[in-house]
Amino acid sequence: MGRLFGTDGIRGLVNNYPITPVVAVKIGQAAAVVFKKKGNNSIIIGRDTRVSGIMIQNALISGICSGGMDVYLAGIIPTPAVAVLTRLLSANAGIVISASHNPFFDNGIKFFTKDGFKLSVNTETAIEKIVLDETSQNLFADNKTIGSVYKILDANEKYMNFLLNNFSGNKPFSGKKIVVDCSNGAVFDIAPAIFEKLGASVTALYNKPNGININENCGSEYPKYLQEKVIETNSDTGFAFDGDGDRLIAVDESGDTVSGDQIIAVCTKYMKEKNLLLNDIAVTTVMSNLGLSDALSQIGVNHIKTGVGDRFVMEAMVKHDAVVGGENSGHLIFLDKHTTGDGIYAAIKLFEAVLYSGQPLSVLSKKCMKIYPQKLINVDVLHKPEISNIKEIKDVINDVEKSLNNRGRVIVRFSGTQPLCRVMVEGQEKDEVEKFCEKIADTIKKVLGK
């Protein structure tokens, strides 16, 4: 057996290691060992709409209960809701069964601490060591102390109340029209309901999950139909979420997408004007557009950049006492009120900023940030060697960087959750950026591709 944890929990093809019922039982037992006596002796489990979710859930239940802890089931619910429930119910930990924006035949297992934060590397290592150690001692609890299983009957209500209590006003979105793309995922019922409670007239798309249509040509990865629907319904904005609801991509009233970077720019400016931006800091990854750094600099905000992954963004936010951070992909964190990325929370925050400005989103997003041309290509790869050790790839990257001549940048990295190499080139001229990105991607495909 190989390493379990990647950049966002444990993830892979269902019925292939490590996403099998056998391994899930062991993960549940390991969780019981690691988290026991750190709360009220319970672990909360939530899941998205994948057909494999119940199978993995039942295996985790068996492992956790056999290890002597109780399980509280939240049902189908967004990832950030599990973080909220774990805190509210004083559970030892929270578990989410989801593969986020991946197709239905993938699934994953990720954890939250009792405080609602994702696990530290040390805690992941402790769980992983128990699961992978074939010589470990019997992990079963005494047969008089095995755990029980309970349902959280008001899980959705608790999460919705958390969201509503963080925004003021009685139906502040009254008179506004919003389209929500639920990705046939975990937000399929909560997202339309929350915006209706806020007073908006809501058109819901892809809100009929069947177990295999999650993220299928919809959601934050595929906003095309959302764009068309916003224009068709003459709506004020559209919001697209991913399968587990921790990611947001917005669409303005003219049908143009608004990226995670633009959302950060808009929300940061709004929070600064409202004196809500602690220490005048915003944190993103190195993948953020160069235009975001310019935009933040113009309003007197220090832009801190981290490695790719919301884990690193969160670590930097905690270290520097920042309250706004995220990724261009749409993972957005507002640490003054929340402990993890939350697509619905971010959508509400963005629209609150739009209403405060008195301008439509199309105007506000462009006013807050100019986007530098950027091209991203994902290359399927057979393996993931160190890029710096492959002369042919290293040479083509060096050639492109010299051609850009400090007028742009190149980032080449392997995905932490999929067999992909991501190539990103950014610069001042669109044609040049696309040509250089394709040049690097073609080289990687030739050397490492399938």
Tokens 């969160």 correspond to what residue? 314
The separation between CA 215 and the C-alpha centre of its own chain, rounded to angstroms, equals: 14
3-state SS class at 448:
helix
3-state SS class at 326:
strand
Q: What is the pLDDT of residue 407?
A: 78
Structure token pair of residue 119: 């696990």
The 10 Å Cβ neighbour count of residue 405 is 8
3-state SS class at 371:
coil
Instruction: Please give the average per-residue pLDDT across 225-251, as a whole number.
Output: 97
Structure token pair of residue 314: 């969160």
pTM of the model: 0.88
Say whether pLDDT at 264 is over 90: yes
Tokens 């629209």 correspond to what residue? 351
The residues assigned a catalytic role are: 100
363-378 pLDDT per residue, tens: 999 999 998 898 999 9
| Domains observed in the chain | 5-155 (3.40.120.10), 162-256 (3.40.120.10), 258-342 (3.40.120.10), 374-448 (3.30.310.50)
Q: Strands (DSSP E) along 98-172, which ranges?
A: 106-113, 149-151
Say whether pLDDT at 134 is over 90: no
Say whether pLDDT at 450 is over 90: no
Instruction: Please give the average per-residue pLDDT across 78-102, as a whole number.
Output: 97
Average pLDDT of the chain is: 94
Residues 72/151, Cβ–Cβ less than 8 Å: yes
More confident residue, 121 or 181: 181
